[in-house]
Structure 1
């Protein structure tokens, strides 16, 4: 089992603060799971024209980076619409904003359908 250091936890929350600020939403819209893999859920207060009946969320995890997903009505797993991809699982906040905007506008020139593979965050082993 990996145990994440306080520095790693602080870094994840700090990064999420930067991303949510760039998106114009508050950090209170985030939840973080420090299990393996470290992940985050960011509620977006909007609906997509392609799925007007579903709530939208921005997901992040250390293995796959950022993804936009829609909620299901049955409480099952979220449905991922697109992954940001790129060279890093922690891109600059402006790139995340551009990705969300592209998904919102149904612009398929940004992101990818398959999950990218990024390395794990630093951890302290027990």
Structure 2
């Protein structure tokens, strides 16, 4: 026996239903991604509303390190007196952060300075170079991955004043426990 063909309207309805399920799934994934980058519940709500994304239920909690790193980087920016507009952080297979500094390096005219953090090297002051080049590291804070924001600010001030010695490629610090990092960062974060 051969199957009788389905009416065209049934095929269209099934395709439309499938497309709606796919679109909803993409919106939920986008909402979860946005929620992971929010700094607090109000920020999360505002971001989702601004983008017209659904509030996924149950409310997913941002990964602890992502949230803690974002808050910690904002606290460091506040201690430095720099805008958080030039602050980025990401937690993937490695955790990293970037803060644009407002000064240029006199040794390389036209090159901005940046403060970076990685879970393997901690805080570094470096000269921004072309994207294809490795940044020139000016100073490394050392093995403490989560110093107080005021200490990071003092380190940057000293490095920019020439008080820190230039380093080559800083060696990795001890392997970091991400849960411990998140807890220590949270202890330094601004309210």
Please indicate the TM-score interval, normalised by the length of the shorter structure. 0.7 to 0.9
Q: How far, CA to CA, are the matches of 1:6 and 1:108 in structure 2? A: 34
Secondary structure of the 2:104 match is: coil
Q: Provide TM-score, normalisation by structure 1.
A: 0.79
Q: 2:150 aligns with which of 63, 72, 94?
A: 94
Partner of 1:78: 135
SS in 2 for 1:21: helix
> Within 5 Å, which residues of 2 pair with 1:37-56?
37-56=94-113
User: Cα distance, 1:112 vs. partner?
Assistant: 5.7
CA contact (8 A) 1:67 1:84 kept: yes
Higher relative contact order (CA 8 A, sep 6+): 1
Q: Do the aligned partners of residues 6 and 81 (structure 1) sit closer, same or farther apart at CA in structure 2, a change above 3 Å counting?
A: same
Distance in 1, Cα, partners of 2:72 & 2:98: 13
Decide whether aligned partners of structure 1 residues 74 and 63 sit closer, same or farther in structure 2, where only a CA change above 3 A counts. closer
1:108 to 164, 181, 191: 164
Q: Please name the residue that 2:4 is paired with.
A: none
Q: Which residue of 2 aligns with 1:29?
A: 86
- Number of residues of Structure 1 aligned to a counterpart in Structure 2: 117
Distance across 1 between alignment mates of 2:65 and 2:100: 22
Larger Rg: 2
* CA distance in 1 between partners of 2:171 and 2:125 (Å): 11
Root mean square deviation, CA, Å:
2.2
Which residue of the other structure, out of 18, 22, 32, is the alignment partner of 2:75?
A: 18
Alpha carbons 2:124, 2:140 under 8 Å: kept: yes
Aligned position for 1:117: 173
Bigger strand fraction: 1
CA deviation vs aligned residue, 1:28-79 (integer Å, no higher than 9, x gap): 2111121222001111121133333311110001111000111114642322
Ranges in structure 1 where 5+ consecutive residues have no aligned partner? none
Give the structure-2-normalised TM-score: 0.55
